[in-house]
């Protein structure tokens, strides 16, 4: 996804084990400890990172911001990273990835902004039912969309829909340093009421001459001076000064990121992107079916060629671990014993017989045998 070298590690270092846990470990089961500890305090646990919702507020017509107070087992996050959030819904644990919009400061609180997605189990739960006091599981931070906040390179941020979440965290970090380099943010939404952080972004634009802001609406007419209309195209990008010198960070749905990549990747200093969903598949990819043998459970299923393996196997009734569903968190990684796959974002074919693959961003192009 990235045109730049990735950092050696995208996870923050874990703290060392506490003396209490070292002494108690031979005698006490963490599950038993968690059961009784949670009776005393909702986020006390042996080692599970848990967080209590301490505040919720509407962020747009279809998004809420939840402020969470994690327990001591959660080790923090950098701007632009993601974390897995899990909740128990109708007796099932559901996990999805969110990019924190508010990063831990002295109060160690972290905020996530969640848009209610059609058919989204966890997003609907968090937007419509989760309340102050509820406890969520948190995963460790992961993700490569990070930048050197002190570097002087001019940057261009492109956000569509929920793609604003890692980019607002990065924008806040840069604003806190007085915008050390020129930054342009183009932010697309269908309607004005779906835009998040509008007042805050406008206040940065008013305070920092190096920060240029443009809201782009695809479903209604532009109104304000900092608004425009229409999907991403060359004409909009041509308004960005020094485009060839920019480091570009794009985040949004697969089709948006693909278009941004096609327009910019070869013309700018670097291009980093994160896409929520795989890009549209070609007819060739969609033709026919393949057989997937699940070696560990001695089962064979037939799925349509070209679907993400995660979606295809879930449609067969399999309960599989997943988080971001966009190829970043590694939660859905599994071993492949034979067969060929195609990466849904890059189109790269993978014929190595024995390898690991991420089910959410790969489809089968031949019969497969998986370690499931
Ligand atoms: S669910 Fe995160 S990499 Fe597949």
- As a whole number, mean pLDDT of residues 264-272 equals 92
Q: How confident is the model at residue 220 (pLDDT cuts 50, 70, 90)?
A: very high
- As a whole number, mean pLDDT of residues 226-244 equals 94
Give me the chain's average pLDDT, please: 87
- For the four alpha carbons of 346, 81, 139 and 100, in that order, the dihedral sign comes to negative
- Pick from 10-19, 149-158, 299-308, 309-318: least confident: 10-19
Q: What is the atom index within ligand 1 of the atom nearest the CA of 361?
A: 4
Half-sphere exposure for 120 (CA within 13 Å, toward CB): 20
Model confidence at 10: pLDDT above 90: no
Tell me if 294 sits within 8 A of 309, measured CB to CB. no
d(CA 215, CA 371): 46
Which of 82, 3, 6, 78 has its CA nearest to residue 246?
3
Mutation test of ligand 1: which of 277, 309, 325, 334 has the most ligand atoms closer than 8 Å to its C-beta?
325
Give 169 Cα–ligand 1 centroid separation in angstroms: 22
Q: How confident is the model at residue 20 (pLDDT cuts 50, 70, 90)?
A: confident
Q: What is the atom index within ligand 1 of the atom nearest the CA of 97?
A: 2
d(CA 8, CA 4): 12
Q: Which residues 6+ apart lie within 8 Å of 331 measured at CB?
A: 84, 95, 139, 321, 322, 323, 324
Tell me if 140 sits within 8 A of 49, measured CB to CB. yes
Model confidence at 225: pLDDT above 60: yes
CA-based end-to-end distance of the chain: 27
- As a whole number, mean pLDDT of residues 138-160 equals 87
Around ligand 1, the residues with Cβ closer than 6 Å are 322-325, 327-332, 358, 360
SS (H, E, C) the chain: CCCCCCCCCCCCCCCCCCHHHHHHCCCCCHHHHHHHHHHHCCCCCCCCCEEEEEEEEEEECCEEEEEEEECCCCCCCCCCCEEEEEEEECCEEEEEEECCCECCCCCCCEEEEEECCCCCHHHHHHHHHCCCCCEEEEEEEECCCCCCCCCCCCEEEEEEHHHHHHHHHHHHHHHHCCCCCCEEEEEEECCHHHCCCHHHHHHHHHHCCCEEEEEEECCCCCCCCCEEECCCCHHHHCCCCCHHHCEEEEEECHHHHHHHHHHHCCCCCEEEEEECCCCCCCHHHHCCEEEEEECCCCEEEEEECCCCHHHHHHHCCCCCCCCCCCCCCCCCEEEEEECCEEECCCCCEECCCCEEEEHHHEEECCCEEECC
Which pLDDT score, from 0 to 100, does residue 190 have? 96
Q: What is the atom index within ligand 1 of the atom nearest the CA of 324?
A: 2
Give 357 Cα–ligand 1 centroid separation in angstroms: 10
Which pLDDT score, from 0 to 100, does residue 148 have? 81
Model confidence at 5: pLDDT above 50: no
Mutation test of ligand 1: which of 322, 341, 357, 370 has the most ligand atoms closer than 8 Å to its C-beta?
322
pTM over 0.85: no
Model confidence at 340: pLDDT above 60: yes
Mutation test of ligand 1: which of 323, 343, 344 has the most ligand atoms closer than 8 Å to its C-beta?
323
Instruction: For helices 164-176 and 198-207, give the axis angle rounded to 10 degrees.
Output: 30
């Amino acid at each position: 996804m990235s045109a730049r070298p990735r950092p050696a590690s995208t996870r923050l270092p874990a703290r060392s084990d506490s003396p209490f846990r070292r002494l108690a470990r031979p005698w006490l089961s963490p599950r038993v400890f968690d059961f009784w500890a949670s009776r005393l305090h909702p986020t006390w646990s042996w080692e599970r990172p848990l967080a209590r919702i301490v505040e919720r507020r509407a962020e747009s017509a279809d998004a809420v911001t939840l402020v969470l107070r994690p327990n001591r087992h959660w080790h923090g996050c950098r701007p632009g990273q993601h974390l897995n959030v899990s909740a128990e819904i109708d007796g099932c644990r559901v996990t999805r990835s969110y990019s924190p919009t508010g990063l831990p400061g002295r109060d160690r609180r972290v905020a996530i902004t969640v848009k209610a997605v059609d058919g989204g189990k966890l997003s609907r739960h968090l937007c419509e039912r989760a309340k102050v006091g509820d406890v969520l599981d948190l995963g460790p931070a992961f993700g490569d969309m990070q930048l050197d906040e002190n570097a002087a390179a001019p940057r261009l941020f492109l956000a569509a829909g929920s793609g604003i979440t890692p980019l607002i965290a990065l924008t806040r970090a840069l604003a806190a340093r007085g915008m050390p380099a020129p930054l342009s943010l183009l932010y697309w939404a269908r309607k004005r009421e779906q835009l998040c952080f509008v007042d805050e972004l406008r206040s940065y634009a008013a305070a920092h001459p190096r920060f240029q802001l443009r809201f782009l609406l695809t479903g209604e007419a532009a109104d304000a001076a900092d608004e425009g209309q229409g999907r991403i195209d060359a004409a909009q990008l041509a308004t960005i000064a020094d485009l060839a010198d920019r480091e570009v960070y794009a985040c949004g749905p697969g089709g948006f990121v693909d278009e941004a990549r096609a327009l910019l990747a070869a013309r700018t200093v670097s291009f980093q992107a994160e896409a929520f969903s795989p890009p549209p598949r070609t007819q060739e990819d969609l033709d026919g079916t393949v057989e997937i043998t699940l070696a560990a459970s001695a089962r064979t299923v037939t799925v349509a060629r070209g679907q993400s393996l995660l979606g295809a196997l879930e449609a067969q009734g399999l309960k599989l671990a997943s988080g971001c569903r966009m190829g970043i968190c590694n939660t859905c990684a599994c071993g492949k014993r034979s067969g060929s796959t195609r990466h849904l974002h890059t189109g790269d074919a993978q014929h190595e017989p024995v390898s690991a693959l991420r089910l959410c961003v790969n489809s089968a192009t031949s019969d497969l045998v998986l370690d499931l």
